[in-house]
A and B are shown apart, each in its own frame.
Chain A
Amino acid sequence: MSDDKSAEWAVELKGVTKTYRKGPIEVPALRRVSLRVAPGEFLAIAGSSGSGKTTLLNIIGGLERADAGDVFVDGKNLQLLSSGDLARLRLQRLGFIFQAYNLLPVLTALENAEFILLLQGVSAKQRKERVRKLFAEIGLVSLENRRPAELSGGQQQRVAVVRAMVTEPALILADEPTANLDSVTAGALLDVMGQLNRAHGTTFVYATHDPQVMERARRLIRLHDGQIMSDEARASTAP
Chain B
Amino acid sequence: MMSAFLLVKIGWRNLWRNPGGTLLTALALGLGLTFVLISLGLLDGSHEQMVRNRVRYGTGHVVIQAQGYQATGSPDLLLPIQVVSATEAYLRTEAMKQTPRGVSPRLLASGLLTSAANADGVRIMGVIPKAERAVSLIPERMIEGAYLADGQESGVVIGAVLARKLAVKVGAKVVLAIQAVKPPAKDASDPDKGEMQNALLRVSGIFRTGVQAIDAHVIQVPLSEAQSLLGVPDRITQIAILLEGEGDSLTVAQRLRGQLKDVPVEILPWRESMPALAQLFSLEEAFNYVMNGVVLMMVGLVILNTILMRVLQRRYEFGLCQALGLRPVQLAGMIFGESLALTAISLALGLALGLGAQQFLATHGLDLRWFSQRNLPADLVFDPIIYSRLSPTRIASSVGIVFLTAIVISFYPALKAARTKLPDALKVF
Q: Restricting to B302-349, which residues have a CB under 8 Å from any CB of A?
A: 316-317, 320-327, 330
Contact A98 B426 (CB under 8 A): yes
Give the one of B1, B317, B324 with max A CB within 10 A: B324
The answer to whether B428 touches A101 (Cβ under 8 A) is yes
Residue from B13, B324, B423, B429 in contact with A115 in the complex, judged by beta carbons closer than 8 Å: B324
Bound CA–CA A63/B330 (angstroms) = 17
CB distance from B315 to the nearest CB of A (A): 11
Q: How far is the CB of A28 from chain B (nearest CB, A)?
A: 17
Q: Which of A54, A63, A102, A118 has the most CB of B within 10 A?
A: A63
Determine the distance from Cα of A92 to Cα of B423 in the docked complex, in whole angstroms: 19
Q: Given the complex of chains A and B, what is the CA–CA distance between A102 and B320 in angstroms?
A: 7
A106 and B6 contacting across the interface, CB-CB below 8 Å? no
- Cα A84 to Cα B2 in complex, Å, equals 15
Q: Is the CB of A105 within 8 A of B17?
A: yes
The one of A64, A84, A91 in contact with B324, judged by C-beta atoms closer than 8 angstroms, is: A91
* A-B pairs with beta carbons under 8 A, tally: 62
B10 at the interface (CB under 8 A from A): yes
Q: Interface size (B, Cβ < 8 Å)?
A: 24
Chain A residue numbers with a CB within 8 Å of B372 are: none
Q: Which residues of A contact B13 (CB under 8 A)?
A: 106-107
CA distance A88 to B329 in the complex (A): 13
A108 CA to B286 CA in the complex, in Å? Answer: 52
| A residues in contact with B82, CB < 8 Å | none
Whether A106 contacts B17 in the complex (CB less than 8 A), given A63-B422, A121-B1, comes out as yes
- In the docked arrangement, what's the CA distance between A104 and B319, Å? 11
Contact partner, B325, options A99, A100, A119, Cβ 8 Å: A119
- Tell me the bound Cα distance from A88 to B322 in angstroms: 10
Contact call B10/A107, Cβ cutoff below 8 A = yes
Asked whether any CB of chain A lies closer than 8 Å to the CB of B72, the reply is no
Cβ–Cβ < 8 Å partners of A27 in chain B: none
- 1/0 per residue, CB under 8 A from B, across A143-185: the answer is 0000000000000000000010000000000000000000000
Whether A61 sits at the interface, judged by CB under 8 Å, is yes
Known contacts A64-B422, A101-B320: A119-B10 contact under CB 8 Å:
no
The CA of A104 and the CA of B428, in the complex, are separated in Å by: 15
Which of B3, B17, B316, B325 contacts A101, CB < 8 Å?
B316
**B13 nearest CB neighbor, chain A only:** A106
Q: Is the CB of B423 within 8 A of A63?
A: yes
Task: Tell which of A64, A101, A119, A121 touches B423, judged by Cβ atoms closer than 8 Å.
Answer: A64
The answer to the question of A10 belonging to the interface, with a C-beta cut-off of 8 Å to chain B, is: no
Determine if A119 and B324 form an interchain contact, defined as CB atoms under 8 angstroms apart: yes
Interface of A toward B, CB cutoff 8 Å: 54, 58, 61, 63-64, 84, 87-88, 90-92, 96, 98-102, 104-107, 115-116, 118-119, 121, 163
Known pairs A87-B322, A91-B324, A102-B320 / 12 extra A-B pairs, C-beta < 8 Å? A64-B423, A84-B327, A87-B325, A87-B327, A91-B325, A98-B426, A101-B428, A104-B320, A104-B321, A106-B13, A118-B2, A121-B2
30 contacting pairs across A/B (C-beta < 8 A)? A54-B423, A58-B422, A58-B423, A63-B323, A63-B422, A84-B327, A87-B322, A87-B325, A87-B327, A90-B324, A91-B324, A91-B325, A92-B325, A96-B324, A98-B323, A98-B426, A100-B428, A101-B317, A101-B320, A102-B320, A104-B317, A105-B317, A107-B10, A116-B324, A119-B2, A119-B324, A119-B325, A119-B326, A121-B1, A121-B2
Q: What 4 A-B pairs are tightest by C-beta distance, nearest first?
A: A91-B325, A106-B13, A63-B423, A90-B325
